[in-house]
Structure 1
């Protein structure tokens, strides 16, 4: 007898097959659901296994009770704003936020307790000038390698960045949107990312890394490798700048990055050049303002900085060659100075070409004066590193922060990478992908907290060695490291 074939009995025709019976259909639904679940688990395991090969598997470091708050006790803390270390308080974390800062011993009885052992708690660190996809690859790799390799390396670097205590970065150029999404979805660990997307550059500008043998560019020519992969966007004239700016906003940029002057890493734009006409800059600024956000500008020289400020740029990146008039203009315009300790020392981005080396030396000579006069004039200043095209160089990220203590008190330096940096990030307004205060320990702020062995009132050198001195790290209320 064939399946589903009816047979004649004394009682009439009967179909012995129960394929269509409700009970059978319910059983089949259960089997199908189980198979789907197993496939999903298998797929997730494959993804986790892939990242585990890089040491990136998203594991839970400390058992935290779902739905219960966490209370940090027995601590001293720097709140990211006040230039002193405070005592006599506990920090209550709930739902990824700081729920309260309470008198010691008054926390709720149902909270999970973390005893900090009288150590110092600080906000998570913020690097305001970071290149998540370009920090750990060479310039040759960035210009020639398959972009998939660059993304895998950036995934590995993201986990290392977080373990150094940098819970947030402002990415100032590169194809970072996919990495940001993966981190936000928990596919792999990493810092919060404020993405700029492709760096917008004029022809011959700091973001134009084409080889000379590709010139001239003719209508209909394909885009260069760096443009196709989202590293840079070359734009000339107001209309093209508008288009490229709007494209990055469409992709999810929280702020826009333009190249307003010569750079060190690029070979064909002298450091003293001003780049983009003021009307071109104005186009980027207005397009960003229409989306409620702002433009930051790579620039070193007085002319480039002043042109940027007149166009409405809100954040000057680098600026080590600014003169006194320009520094005062930054203060008067209320602009931010995102500045790095470029000192041409062992942590400098390596440059083998004599042209690059000469430009790097010139920038380093202006760094000390820039810090000293910027502080004296009261310019808003935030910390960044700009580790770029430098495999292995990212390990100096915390050490570069400690160098700020050469120019200011330790807590003031730490504030540049916490509370002050958080204020700069807030300029993204409605384009802020995380919506909430960062870089501070206060009620309602994001619960990004670090527990250190060290006293930041006397020195921040302990930040140089997070492997040893970072005893507990928390991002969004979840512990990613603990060696208490």
Structure 2
């Protein structure tokens, strides 16, 4: 699923191998991460030539590549070399957010990831340096979503959750609504093209921990026909549905 590769020639071979063996998209690590013990969060990774060869190959395949990046330097380096989507993006400044908007680069924030790791880091074996890194991006994450929204960046939704933390998925929707405001978070004109059906954010995988007997689609007419759905599983808890419909106001 992941590997360390250096050099443009080897990266080209790795990307081709991934597509040949069934990948539908490529994710680049263009900065360090919270869990990685030695990679600083802010330092850009990969040269311009290395990023471009991956992006060009993904484009030839009719696909795309997204970049894990945190700092303004890493985000700018990614955007200026052809990346079309930034994942995480917790530490941008206003100038970087504007650069993303100008280049039609989307953001997929993962605010809930750091919130959960702050509370449950021991469960997933967070490294000794992990908690300090996590606090840095957690404190900045919500502000980053607001900066991106103000700049006109298209904002999607995602998490890094697997295994023990999968039960935190829905909390991510709540935190994103808190950061953007419910109507902004659900405005399909501000979202990346996540699904070919207009006005539908469809989750084809199984991100939820409680089962339902059949597919549920929750129509939200006030959001220009947007609906949320996931096959075989409930989409949101009652409290989240109330927040979506009431714009966070209690009755």
Q: TM-score range by the shorter chain?
A: 0.7 to 0.9
Q: Which has the higher helix share?
A: 2
Counterpart residue number, 2:146: 372
Shift of 1:277: 0.7
- Count of residues in Structure 1 that have an aligned counterpart in Structure 2: 215
Does the 8 A contact of 1:339 with 1:382 survive in 2?
yes
2:248: which partner in 1?
Answer: none
Hey, what's the Cα distance between the residues in 1 that align with 2:114 and 2:47?
31
Indicate the residue corresponding to 1:273 in structure 2: 43
| TM-score of the aligned structures, taking structure 2 as reference length | 0.75
**2:89 equivalent in structure 1:** 319
> How far did residue 387 of structure 1 move?
1.4
Structure possessing the higher relative contact order (Cα contacts under 8 Å, 6 or more residues apart):
1
Per the alignment, residue 241 of structure 1 pairs with 11
TM-score by length of 1: 0.40
User: What CA deviation, in whole Å up to 9, does each residue of 1:300-350 have, x standing for no partner?
Assistant: 011111111111010001111111221111011000111122474356562
Partner Cα distance (1:322, 1:347) in 2: 21
Selected match of 1:356 from 130, 140, 155: 130
Q: Which runs of 4+ in 1 moved over 3 A?
A: 342-349, 454-457
1:397 and 2:164 correspond: no
**Secondary structure of 1:450's partner?**
strand
Native 8 Å contact 2:112 2:175 kept in 1: no
Q: What is the CA-CA distance between 1:399 and the residue it aligns to?
A: 2.0
- Structure number with higher strand proportion: 1
The alpha-carbon distance between structure 1 residues 354 and 347, as it changes in their structure 2 partners (threshold 3 A), is closer
SS at match of 1:363: helix
Give the Cα–Cα distance (whole angstroms) in 1 for the partners of residues 16 and 37 of structure 2: 28
Aligned-partner SS, 1:370: helix
1:399-422 per-position Cα deviation (integer Å, ceiling 9, x unaligned): 210122212332332347x9825x
| Equivalent residues in 2 for 1:457-476, closer than 5 Å | 464-465=236-237
8 Å contact kept, 2:159–2:169 = yes
Specify the alignment match of 1:420 in structure 2: 191
Q: CA deviation at 1:354?
A: 2.9
State the match for 2:217 in structure 1: 450
Larger Rg: 1
Write the distance in 2 (CA, Å) between the matches of 1:288 and 1:384: 21
Cα pair 1:301 1:321 within 8 Å, conserved: yes
Q: Distance in 1 between matches of 2:113 and 2:57?
A: 35
Using the alignment, how far apart are the partners of 1:253 and 1:344 within structure 2?
Answer: 27
User: Where does residue 437 of structure 1 map in the other structure?
Assistant: 197
Structural RMSD (CA): 3.1
Residues 347 and 398 from structure 1, CA distance in 2 versus in 1: closer, same or farther, beyond 3 angstroms?
Answer: farther
Note the 1:78-93 alignment, pairs <5 A.
Answer: none
Unaligned segments of structure 1, at least 5 residues: 1-230, 427-435, 442-447, 470-484
Deviation at 1:439, TM superposition (A): 5.2
Q: Which runs of 5+ in 2 are unaligned?
A: 202-214, 229-233, 242-251
Which of 377, 380, 383 in structure 1 is aligned with 2:157?
383
Q: Does 2:110 match 1:340?
A: yes
For 1:410, which of 168, 182, 185 is the aligned residue?
182
**1:463, CA displacement in angstroms?**
5.6
- State the shift of 1:267 in Å: 1.0
Q: In structure 2, the residue corresponding to 1:248 is in which secondary structure?
A: helix
